[in-house]
Amino acid sequence: MIKKLFTDTLKTNDVPPMPLVKQDLLEALDTRFPNQSADMQWSEKEVWFKAGQRSVVEFLIKQFKEQEEDVSR
């Protein structure tokens, strides 16, 4: 439900297109903000913060794959 609401909001607002995502930037971000399990030493806020960082990297990975598919067509 929330995902649909978020997606619908993006469709109705004037959101500018994403610029091209460069592979070297994506690799640097992927190294700095790896996809990892939470550590028991982290506070709850730190878990959410790190999850948010990784969420942005995952979004950019998706954008990169989509732009690569568009180029190969």
Higher per-residue pLDDT: 39 or 1: 39
Give the pLDDT confidence score for residue 2 in this predicted structure.
58
Give the pLDDT confidence score for residue 29 in this predicted structure.
97
61 Cβ contact list (under 8 Å, min separation 6): 26, 30
AA identity, residue 45: K
Domain definitions of the chain by residue range:
19-72
Token digits of residue 64: 């990169």
Place of tokens 């806020």: 45
Give the pLDDT confidence score for residue 64 in this predicted structure.
95
